[in-house]
Chains A and B, each alone.
Chain A
Amino acid sequence: MRPATLLRRCALILLASLPLASLPAEAEVAEPPGLWTGPMVGETPATLNGATVIDVPTLEGMLEGPVLLIDVGKAARRPDNLPEDTLWKPVHRSIPGAAWFPGGGAGDLPPEQARALLGRIDELAKGDKDAVLVTFCKPNCWGSWNLGKRLVEAGYRQVHWLPAGIDGWQELHDAVPVQPQPGWPPEGE
């Protein structure tokens, strides 16, 4: 967000925060009926039907037991026309122990990718539909909402969504470099 925009928005919010202000508060984003296929970066709903929305302190408590952390943050894409001699060393930092499926949060994954994603998660969860799952990416990222939705629809009963994402985690904790899950994305893509 550019500073001018930010300032304008701040001005609006400050106005909206005044008790007597007549400006309406920003409308809540409603949950879409299915997976979200619109722009992947933007305001997300406050809820995810069938899943639990958590913050970082709640996650800290949960991490005392077994938790499957699933990161669907995007991988950095090397620009096609970047000169060959440009130093290119992308690193993806995540919550320690997280399984990373770059781009796995798309709402319109081809069926074979969706199958591969759920298949790998089933492996990691050892086939247990009561496994504790946490999905995340960055703030304002529909990807982790979508994956949460996908997992609920796949029958998992303990799906958690961390909207604060990796940024929220990094406020207080280490984030470590991770590699994409083996076999992801499946060949042919």
Chain B
Amino acid sequence: MGMNQNRRMACAGLVLAPLLAIAGPVLAAGGTDQEREERWQDLRQSIFGERPVEDGVGLITLEAPARALDAALVPLTIRIAPEQRDRVAAVHLVIDDNPSPYAARASFGPAGDPAVLRLRVRIDGYTNVHAVAETKDGRLFGTAAFVKASGGCSAPIGVSDEVAMQGMGEMKLRPGGPDTHGEATLLIRHPNFSGMQMNQLTRTYTPARYLDLVRISQGDQTVLELAGDISLASDPAIGFAYRPGEADAFTVLATDSDGGSWQESFPIPANTQ
């Protein structure tokens, strides 16, 4: 298939994506169910040990595009059912077929609200993506979505490393809209180099450099602590929910795998409750 045709398909995808998501060929978990399930069980063992992951129906959902428009920037939304929120201590994200599958772990503090978590990730192949909620008493509840994407981990960033690193650590906070009351999105400028991205001309790999921790607090109360990995997309956007607190500002601390450290404060968006 020529690039031209690919682009046309990608364009059709832009227009037809909502239709395709419904009308596309539905292969349960992409076909080789048993082998994919074996891989998931292997990953589960590596990440959670002997703890079983129970069916998360009614507790956790994962919204993912059936087909990624850009494999290096796949939006995911994890939701916890409102009546279950107080049970949930953390959410784990596993992209089964990524070489580094354990993409993120988000732990919620007293000022946090697990209701919603939005992340943008790299996806390397046609794969199951698992979102697992961990309750305060240590039980695990999972759900999965199948995403068609290709080459997200090694996709070049599109600009030189120097340009990609300009303004590294700069942050913005966007309040949620009228329908997303009590939510905000934190944007952090950071290339989040995967270490798998090759400069095609020099044929050298840009070393991995990624945000390994993002902590959002209200005063001395933690909202969210996110442990990240090379599977998070460049310039991470983290959508999160929070509970009204005493403090009038969010404090954000971000550190990366090279020892970079950045801190910022943002006024908490006006509360209409």
Contacts and interface: CB of A to CB of B under 8 A. Distances in A.
Main secondary structure of the interface of B (DSSP, over half): loop
Interface string B9-29: 011001000000000010000
A89 B25 contact: no
Contacts of A44: 2-3
B99 A89 contact: yes
A89 B95 CA distance: 11
Interface stretch (B134-142, B176-184, B199-207, B263-271): B199-207
B7 A13 contact: yes
B110 interface: no
A43 B2 contact: yes
A104 B32 CA distance: 26
Contacts of B102: 86-87
A79 B11 contact: no
Interface string B130-172: 0000000000000000001011011100100000000000000
A122 to B, nearest CB: 29
Interface string B29-44: 0111001000100110
Q: For this complex, into which size category does the number of interface residues on chain B fall?
A: 35 or more
A79 B207 contact: yes
B124 interface: yes
Contacts of A88: 99-100
A32 interface: no
B173 to A, nearest CB: 22
Interface of B: 1-4, 6-8, 10-11, 14, 25, 30-32, 35, 39, 42-43, 46-47, 69-70, 72-73, 97, 99-102, 124-126, 148, 150-151, 153-155, 158, 194-196, 200-201, 205, 207-208, 229-230, 257
Given A10-B7, A10-B10, A174-B32, 4 more contacts: A77-B205, A80-B207, A87-B102, A175-B31
